Amino acid sequence: MPNSQQSRSALIWLWLALAVFVLDIATKQLAEMMLTYGRPVYLLPVLDFTLLYNRGAAFSFLADESGWQRWFFTAVSLGVSAMLIVWLKRLPRAQVWMPVALALILGGALGNLFDRLVYGHVIDFISVHWGRSYFPAFNIADSAITVGAVMMALDVVRETWQERRQAS
């Protein structure tokens, strides 16, 4: 495959990553402007918007540390983002599912990276709960990362099934 086709293909998926990044930053700014820290705005019996800050990673992992985790997670985000860009550029132009998954993860990683660099924490505001049981608050970036990871897993399962069918 000519290199220009690979580059064009990668650029298409980088636009999706950029769209996720912009949507994430815009919704976090709206949350900052319209919500009061720690005070929920109830939308549905199982959903509210509550402005919270997370100095750690998923599920507030390492959030109570002295501050070194900000730079650790920044370095991890930069490394993962670079790896995802290289991976996107190497994928065949005809593939769709995996590039979309990688672009979603990349856009989400960059959104949370932006927060860490600018604010020193990640802005979360989406809160899902059942009664008094709360899932950790999250944001659009976290949602994109999760959807992308599920898509990757499904793609691996699909490829494994195809390989087994072809082998038999």
Q: Is 124 a catalytic residue?
A: yes
Task: State yes or no: pLDDT of 66 exceeds 90.
Answer: no
Q: What is the pLDDT of residue 1?
A: 46
Residue type, 137: A
Active-site position among 24, 48, 115, 124? 124
Burial code (b: 16+ CB inside 10 Å, e: under 16) for 82-102 equals eebbeebbebeeeeeebbbbb
> At residue 71, does pLDDT exceed 90?
no
Return the percentage of the chain with pLDDT > 90, whole number.
Answer: 64
Q: How far is CA 61 from CA 41, 77, 136, in A?
A: 25, 15, 11
Q: How confident is the model at residue 159 (pLDDT cuts 50, 70, 90)?
A: confident
Q: Which bin fits 88, alpha (ψ -120 to 50), beta or left (φ > 0)? A: alpha
Q: Which of 24, 48, 115, 142 is catalytic?
A: 142
